Amino acid sequence: MQQKSCWTWRNCCFKVSETISYGVLLATIKDVAKAAGVSTATVSAVVNDTAYVSPDLRARVLSAIRDLRYSPSLVARNLRRGRSQLIALAVADLANPFYARMVSSAEAAVAAWGYSLVLFNSDEKPETERRILARIRTLGCDGAVIVPVGAADQYRHHEFDDVPTVLLGRSLGGDQADTVTVDNFSAGRQVTNYLLDLGHTHIGSITGPMQLSTGHGRLEGMIEAMAARGLAPQPSHVRSGEFREDAAYSVARDILGQPNRPTALYVANGVMAIGAMRAVSDIGLSCPQDVSIASTDTISGVGGLKPRLTRTEHPVADMTNAALRMLVERIEKKVSVPPRHITFQPALVVGESCAPVAR
Amino acid sequence: MQQKSCWTWRNCCFKVSETISYGVLLATIKDVAKAAGVSTATVSAVVNDTAYVSPDLRARVLSAIRDLRYSPSLVARNLRRGRSQLIALAVADLANPFYARMVSSAEAAVAAWGYSLVLFNSDEKPETERRILARIRTLGCDGAVIVPVGAADQYRHHEFDDVPTVLLGRSLGGDQADTVTVDNFSAGRQVTNYLLDLGHTHIGSITGPMQLSTGHGRLEGMIEAMAARGLAPQPSHVRSGEFREDAAYSVARDILGQPNRPTALYVANGVMAIGAMRAVSDIGLSCPQDVSIASTDTISGVGGLKPRLTRTEHPVADMTNAALRMLVERIEKKVSVPPRHITFQPALVVGESCAPVAR
DNA sequence: GGACGCTAGCGAAACGGTTCGGCCAGATGC
DNA sequence: GCATCTGGCCGAACCGTTTCGCTAGCGTCC
């Protein structure tokens, strides 16, 4: 490998040597048929093991396949069969470790079912999601797992009729598609009860967008838990952080800057909790001494937070597997089943980010 | 949405209601042509804006498209055009946050170039990778970004001739394909020099597999840095952790259990560093008081480690973008360019996991 | 007014497979 | 020996696009 030229680009070094060419066309079934002296139908029969072929011919076909390095074009096969062997996954925020884990589980499950995974990131933008749904249609994906980012009324009534779809993590309330969700209400209630048990009565919340089930559900759980003890959050202590770290940071500064600041914050997801932690420290307060912070949906150890978060954790892997199982069922037995809805229960995981209320 | 039945499965609840059917066949170009009273060629011309069509016909076609919710089948289009609009990414370990970030960058870049991303996880298994490469071929992906997991000699000489390919993160030494890597030698040297500057002379290493460039490269950098000061690592203090957390854990226990244990460990990647940290603490030692730990390729904040790791960081996003730029260039201008090799420089990021040598 | 050029739109072949009906040869039955 | 049956293999249609070559109709110019 001799170096012929060197060229810098940012902080990188660039070396070239002899030419690569992709001129070699892939062999088609016709080439194989010709080489083996049989018809394409026979080659197809051998490849798919769909009809008896005499040992003689079979051997000739197999040898031709090997010689030509033939591998059937899935594009052509799928055009004919009307399938694509592709399952799409559209997550709401790929940079969020929570969704990274979802992707990891999904890849394994999809491969295990014999499909390939096409990955999309809607980045919490309904407009991007719209384009993704269109793309999934035209790609002819056999099925799709979607973490929806829009409000229920942003979707057409039969939005998900073309491609078998499972909504994962967030529900749209309606009955358009199969759904796998976590019990957000319970998550909010569990976390809040934990804070209440520590003696907190002034609890604020940085919520997700209210049009999402993960947004309002968690807040409603919190409100219910407080109401059960005759309490209610102060309106100025409940604000949306849009599931974004930077937004949560500002909102946290705002809430904690108020004269009667809450002693505890329920932050509706993991990345926002990081923002809130940062705000606490920038304001000159400390967690959990001055402010307790608890969260939901965080995966373990996200962001290297110093006091580990007290949080409810979602069984991401189980949820993803369940979603794919439902999806593949729908794809393969084409029978029309009523839409199904599976709800998982979150579990409270106690970290070091909450302390009994001072005084 | 009334609940008709309830069935429990693990810790989840299951509800059903009215039927979903996917009977609605997608409209084809022929349906549109018939509805608009034109030929399929004209519809195609309108859809692709590839020829002039009179305003009258154009309007009729567009309206038919809207009425029928027509969207052209990429499967058919790609069969005809001989392209698939798909770019494959095969990473070595999806559960590793380092690769999760790579996936996130890749998805964005692939979408920006107008392709869709097909994601694979070879899980560090050459056998799985072999299947993935075959799958990429048959899927007809226009290009592939691969983090190779095998030794160079496990690949056929023209392994990457069929599909334009960029090797990312690890090189195979040869000149089969474009390559984007990080300077592993420099990473090993930088980290080791830092440890040496802290006064450590007994430095051990948990390395990656020696057949990988990321395995031997980093170790060689370390050895060179020590040699420059007239030192050398003790053979029993250098062991492979296979880039796996559990393996690194055992190896760390082993190395640190030796009577003359090293005062510092260079661990070749982030997940292994977590294992090593765990081993240190399980043995009853503490980091950095008793053992300094430094690493390479870790992404910030991985695993919520208490003392943040001192490490060299790879510019993952830049590397991924560079890889995709090269790939798309190769796909689109089909000219045969010699294989190119880009090397990025790692940067040392100082955390709290290393201390001056005791005594 | 006829030859010609131009162009909007059409028909049909092709892409690479699958699949179904049909054909031919050999075996079987009477 | 002829009709029938059977089983292995083939030819060709088809999947939904794109694209090339062609036609028909119009306007222009001598």
List CB contacts (< 8 A) between B91 and chain A.
none
- Whether A351 maps to a domain, the answer reads no
pLDDT digits (tens, 9 = 90+) for A250-272: 999 999 999 999 999 999 998 89
A77 touches strand C (CB under 7 A): yes
Mean pLDDT on B30-43: 93
B40 is near strand C: CB distance < 7 Å:
yes
A256 inside domain? yes
Whether residues B104 and B203 fall in one domain = no
Per-residue pLDDT, B172 = 84
Gap from A10 CA to C19 C1', in Å?
Answer: 56
Total domain count, chain B? 3
Label residue B295 exposed, middle or buried (CB < 10 Å: 0-12, 13-18, 19+). buried
In this predicted structure, the answer to whether residue B295 has a pLDDT above a threshold of 60 is yes
pLDDT over 90 for what percent of chain B? 63
Q: Choose from A28, A116, A343 for mutation: most chain B CBs within 10 A.
A: A116
* Same domain flag for A243 and A289: yes
Does B75 contact A345 at a Cβ distance shorter than 8 Å? no
Is nucleic acid strand C under 7 Å from A46's C-beta? Answer: no
Helix (H, G, I), strand (E, B) or coil at B311: strand
Please count the residue pairs, one from chain A and one from chain B, whose beta carbons lie less than 8 angstroms apart: 238
- Within-domain flag for B351: no
D chain positions with any atom within 7 Å of a protein CB: 7-21
Q: Cβ of A339 and B111 within 8 Å? A: no
Is position B357 within any domain?
no
- In Å, how far is B343's CA from the nearest CA of chain A? 5
Q: Summarize the confidence of residues A144-166 as an average pLDDT.
A: 82
Chain A residue with minimal CA distance to B21? A336
Beta bridge partner(s), residue A89: A119, A145
- Is the per-residue pLDDT at B72 higher than 60? yes
Contact state of B118 with A117 under an 8 Å Cβ cutoff = yes
Contact assignment for A71 to B164 by CB distance below 8 Å? no
Assess whether B279 and B332 both reside in one domain.
no
Kindly state whether residue B114 falls inside one of the protein's structural domains: yes
CB half-sphere exposure, B232, CA atoms < 13 A: 3
> Given pLDDT bands bounded at 50, 70 and 90, which one contains residue B9?
very low
Query: Hey, which residues does B9 pair with through a beta bridge?
Result: B12
Inspect the interface and report whether the beta carbons of A108 and B97 lie closer than 8 Å. no
Protein-contacted positions of strand C (CB under 7 Å): 7-21
CB A40 under 7 Å to nucleic chain C: yes
Nucleotide D14: closest residue by CA–C1': A80
Is there a contact between B12 and A322 if contact means CB atoms under 8 Å apart?
yes
Residue B207 resides in a domain: yes
A66 and A102 share one domain: no
Specify which residues B146 forms β-bridges with: B90, B167
pLDDT confidence of A136, banded at 50, 70, 90? very high
pLDDT score for A338: 85
Mutation for B interface: A1, A22, A93, most B CBs within 10 A:
A22
Q: Chain A partners of B173 at a C-beta cutoff of 8 Å?
A: 1
Q: Does A334 lie in the same domain as A279?
A: no
CA–C1' gap, A45 and D7, in angstroms = 15
> Quick one: pLDDT at residue B328?
93
CB contact under 8 A, A18 and B175: yes
Asked if residue B324 and residue B287 are part of one domain, the reply reads no
Residue B263 lies in a domain: yes
Question: Higher model confidence: residue A30 or residue A159?
Answer: A30
Using the CB atom, is residue B358 less than 7 Å from strand C? no
* Cross-strand pairs, A145: A89, A166
User: Do B192 and B309 have their domain in common?
Assistant: yes
Considering the domain architecture, whether residues A161 and A202 belong to the same structural domain is answered as no
Same domain, B54 and B142: no
Is the Cα dihedral B121, B125, B127, B130 positive or negative?
Answer: positive
User: CA A215 to CA A22: how far, in whole Å?
Assistant: 50
Band (B32; pLDDT cuts 50, 70, 90): very high
> Do residue A190 and residue A269 come from a single domain?
yes
CA distance B205 to chain A (A): 24
Of B19, B100, B301, the CB nearest to A100: B100
Strands B86-91, B143-146: pairing is: parallel
Tell me the three state secondary structure of residue B135: helix
Q: Are residues A179 and A321 in the same domain?
A: yes
For residues A295 and A267, the answer to whether their CB atoms sit within 8 Å is yes
Query: A205 has which bridge partners?
Result: A238, A266
* pLDDT at residue B290 in the model: 93
Residue with tokens 């000699």: B153
Out of A4, A76, A138, the one facing B72 most closely (by C-beta) is A138
Q: Which domain holds residue A46?
A: 6-72
- Considering only the beta carbons, identify the residue of B71, B97, B160 that sits closest to A138: B71
Higher per-residue pLDDT: A92 or B335: A92
A301 confidence band (pLDDT: 50, 70, 90): low
Percent of chain A scoring above 70 in pLDDT: 89
By 3-state DSSP, what share of chain B in percent is helix, strand and coil, each rounded to 5?
40, 20, 40
Residue B302 has pLDDT above 70, yes or no: no
**Partner-chain contact A14 B119, CB within 8 Å:** no
We report the CATH number of the domain holding residue A26 as 1.10.260.40
Between β-strands A86-91 and A116-121, what pairing exists: parallel, antiparallel or unpaired? parallel
Distance, Å, A79 CA → C21 C1': 22
Q: Mean per-residue pLDDT for B282-289?
A: 90
Q: What is the band of B305 on the pLDDT scale with cuts at 50, 70, 90? A: low
CA of B57 to C1' of D28 (A): 26
Domain CATH number, residue B113:
3.40.50.2300
Instruction: Give strand letter and number of the nucleotide nearest B48 (CA to C1').
Output: D18
Shared domain check, A203 and A310: yes
The reply to whether B10 falls in a domain is: yes
pLDDT tens digits for range B209-256 = 998 989 999 999 999 999 999 999 999 999 999 988 899 999 999 999
Q: Assign A297 a pLDDT band (cuts: 50, 70, 90).
A: confident
At A2 the pLDDT is: 34
Average pLDDT over residues A275-301: 86
Q: What is the pLDDT of residues A173-227, one digit of tens each?
A: 777 789 999 999 999 999 999 999 999 999 999 999 998 989 999 999 999 999 9
